[in-house]
Each structure stands twice: as structure tokens, then as C-alpha cells.
Amino acid sequence: MNIRQTRQEDLAEVMAIYDYARRFMQEHGNGNQWINGYPSEELISNEIKASHSFVCENEQGELVGTFCYIEGIDPTYLNIYEGEWLNDEPYAVIHRMASNGKQKGISTECLKWAFAHCDNIRIDTHRDNIVMQNLLKKHGFKQCGIIYIANGTERIAFHKIVNPTNKEAPSRLGGRFFCAYVSTVIAVGLHAEILPQHRAV
């Protein structure tokens, strides 16, 4: 499995993946998470421009999955209710993870890729998305509380510390990775521009 940044020429295939994912959700009791054509082509195009969108290619070079990965402050995570995050350290977020259903294990590959790039991962999902909740728990995420996205609907918040006993802050230098906060102004500006309805997985 090869994971790379999405290119603009991938947009049509990525949107087809999201079309399949919406149908899958509706057929499996989760018809309220991605509605009204969400995520839109404009949103994904902007994420591509911002280098936040990634695709999964199989051995034949076919696109079989996609997700959004952002290192930095997520405005919708500033307030959490009925619980708390595991820590206040720099983190990365994963959003809009989806596959076209042609190959198993895509979500696991996306998570493994994220774990290799950051040891502090936050993610959220809809209360009705039992499939995703089970996947996150299987991969060691802890349910932390409730957050509210821009349209006012709730999401269940999850958090995983990949190496909780490793006190040394890793660095991209020398091939190691770290998660760095983007400055608040830049991060909020990006989210305001490209994530007008800051979604969920």
C-alpha cells in the first residue's frame, strides 16, 4: 500500500470514493453524518491545495482510499465536554477517512501511516458510526468526551498517544517525525477557509 498526497488530477476519483462511503454509511445505520453532498468537491480541492489530503494506492496503482491529515490546532477541539483529552501536547488530526470498498484494511493502513508521522493523534466520529468507533478502539484510541463541530452537531472525541512512555520529543531531522503546532492564527485561518463545516470521520 502506498500513501501519498492527493493531486488535483485525483479529485474525481477521490469524490467517487466519498460517494461510495456515503452510501455505505446510509446502508449501515449512519445516515446523518455525511449529508447534503458532504464533503464537497470544493472542500476536498482546497484540502489538496493545502497539502492536507492523502490517497491510498494499491499495488496496481489504483486509488482505494483517502483521508485528511493535519498537524496543528483544530478549532473544534478547543472545547471538549463530558471528559478531557489525554494530554495538551501538540497533536495531529485525521478527518474524512474513506475507502471504495474494493480492498480490506484501508482504514488500518491510514491509521498506521498517521502513527508513523505523529505520536499524538486526535480524531472524532459520529455517534451512529459504530464501525469507526470499533475500529478506533481496536487500534488503541481512548474515548475522551464530546466535541461540537461548526454546524453545532456533536461528535465523539477519541485520542491516542502512540508512545506514551517515550518522553523524548521526536524530530523530523534524521528521519524521525514530530507533531508541531501551527500558529493559532494560521491554523484557525486554514480551518475557517477549508473546513467550513469541520466534519468528522
Instruction: Parse the chain into domains and list their residue ranges.
Output: 2-194
Nine-digit cell at 4? Answer: 501519498
- Close Cβ partners of 107 (under 8 Å, ≥ 6 residues apart): 65, 97, 99, 132, 135
Task: Count Cβ atoms below 10 Å from residue 196 Cβ, excluding itself.
Answer: 14
For 143, phi and psi rounded to 5 degrees? -75, 125
The residue with greater pLDDT, 184 or 198, is 198
For the domain 2-194, what is the CATH superfamily, name and number?
A: Gcn5-related N-acetyltransferase (GNAT) (3.40.630.30)
Cα–Cα nearest to 123, from 82, 161, 153? 161
| pLDDT at site 175 | 38
Nine-digit cell at 85? Answer: 483529552
Nine-digit cell at 125? Answer: 466520529
Helix (H) or strand (E) holding 137: helix 130-138
Strand-strand pairing, 120-125 and 154-161: antiparallel
pLDDT exceeds 50 at position 68:
yes
The residue with greater pLDDT, 198 or 44, is 44
Q: Give CA torsion, residues 27, 23, 36, 30, to 10 deg.
A: 30
pLDDT exceeds 80 at position 28:
yes
Whole-structure pTM value: 0.81
Average per-residue pLDDT in the chain?
84
Which three-class secondary structure state does DSSP give residue 13?
helix
**Residue 165: pLDDT band by 50, 70, 90 thresholds?**
low
Task: Count Cβ atoms below 10 Å from residue 68 Cβ, excluding itself.
Answer: 24
Cα–Cα nearest to 142, from 154, 127, 159, 128? 159
pLDDT exceeds 70 at position 52:
yes
| pLDDT at site 179 | 56
Nine-digit cell at 107? Answer: 482504514
